[in-house]
Amino acid sequence: MKAKYALRAMCALARAEGGRLPADSAYAPRHGRLQARAIAEHSGAPGKFLESILVDLREAGFIDSRRGQKGGHALARPADQIMVGDLIRAIDGPLAPVRCASVSAYQPCADCPDPDACSLRSLMREARDALSSVLDRRSLRELALAPDFGAAALGPASLDATFLPVTTLAYGGDRA
């Protein structure tokens, strides 16, 4: 759940960067930055929870935060250079459903005699690879500008009529 709100917050910042938030709103970007309450408003994230998420995002190098009258939060680099998979890993940790299938946080199962021959580990690695192949190809910009992203939580006022075409992702095999 933390990654969901982190993604929504990052999408609000990406929209602000691209001038796609309502300028007449009390929560419009100021000096190219959004204040935390504006991010909460545009992302639907609870305020206190969002504060801890913003700290995590800043520490991971995804956002730049400043205090003061010209303060607020902004993306640390362009939205098209931030991959959704990297954001999720920074907030929630590895994508693998179990530690023995993780690339970045591998830990063998205590009760597994041979991890290399384990069919469950093999299946979980395949699932991790499939998830990674989708999330690591989608940029924050694509997600933020997708016509259906968070429409229920964000409301119609925060969505723009001009959208970036969403990249077609290859899933390998037939998908219904």
- 25: in domain: yes
Beta bridge partners of 139: 83
For the stretch 13-29, pLDDT in tens is 998 876 665 554 545 55
Residue type, 154: L
Residues 91 and 71 in one domain: no
- 37: in domain: yes
| Structural domain for 41, as ranges | 2-82+139-158
Q: Are 52 and 91 in contact (CB under 8 A)?
A: no
For the stretch 71-124, pLDDT in tens is 889 999 999 999 999 999 999 999 888 889 988 889 888 898 999 999 999 999
pLDDT at 70: 75
Residues 30 and 62 in one domain: yes
The domain that holds 57 is classified in CATH as 1.10.10.10
- The residues, ordered by sequence, that sit 6+ positions from 57 with a Cβ below 8 Å of its Cβ are 6, 9, 10, 63, 87, 90, 91
Residues 31 and 7 in one domain: yes
Residues 143 and 71 in one domain: yes
